[in-house]
Amino acid sequence: MLPPGLMVVHGNHPEALRDLLLAWLQRHPLAPLEDEHVLVQSNGVAQWIRLSLAKDVEQGGAGIAAALQTELPSAFLWRAYRAVLGDDAVPATSPFDKSLLVWRLMRLLPQLLAEPVFAPLSRFLEDDGDLRKRHQLAERLADLFDQYQVYRADWLAAWSDGRDQILTSRGGLQAVPPELCWQPRLWRALQKDVGPALAGSS
């Protein structure tokens, strides 16, 4: 019997990782009514994994994709926080959850677009009578900040402190490029909107 734990496997070829996942699931099946949990970087990858596993065995699949929970890293981490710290200490849903960010951004963007730093976003939202562009932009931005919370938490921490800097791949600090300065400004606006009690929950 395998001890419980978290397995992290890195690779550049998604097909090879899928094959490894399939082999692992076949070699170490869970008990009935237990779910496998697989972390994915996007909903598109989650769908691809499900479809790949559901293929016939002759085509490299398992023939079925059931009892498989695919979730984004941010959702998994939030669930882990609640499991460790307790339901009373951590809200059921992060105020920076992607689904909540979309609607928060829909409300905040009109208030911010007058600032010169938001000129790139303002140009995109021209001729948006039915608000379709604003909703599309809010979805893209919510996805961006959702990814940052997992992969660029150091950037968000600096922006929260008022430092418009990013940590480069070489370990140095550099200023946020002028055309992207709206990102730290928008992150601070989101934190202010959430309020100090929950802003640290990101």
Q: Is residue 80 part of a domain?
A: no
Higher per-residue pLDDT: 65 or 131: 131
Is there a single domain that holds both residue 111 and residue 188? yes
Residues 120 and 55 in one domain: no
Residue whose token pair is 């070489």: 170
Clarify whether residues 165 and 102 are in a common domain: yes
- Of 21, 17, 23, 24, nearest to 2 (Cα)? 24
The model's pLDDT over 153-182, given as tens digits with 9 standing for 90+, comes to 899 999 999 999 998 777 788 999 999 999
Residue at 2 is within a domain: no
pLDDT confidence of residue 111: 94
The tally of domains found in the chain comes to: 2
Least Cα distance to 190 among 174, 201, 177, 178 occurs for 201
Kindly state whether residue 29 falls inside one of the protein's structural domains: yes
Global pTM? 0.70
Burial (CB < 10 A; 0-12, 13-18, 19+), residue 84, is exposed
pLDDT of residue 26: 85
pLDDT, tens digit (0-9, with 9 covering 90-100), for 70-104: 888 878 888 888 999 998 888 888 888 888 999 99
Range of the structural domain that residue 130 is part of? 98-195
Q: Provide the CATH number for the domain around residue 181.
A: 1.10.10.160
Query: Which band of pLDDT confidence, cut at 50, 70 and 90, is reported for residue 196?
Result: low
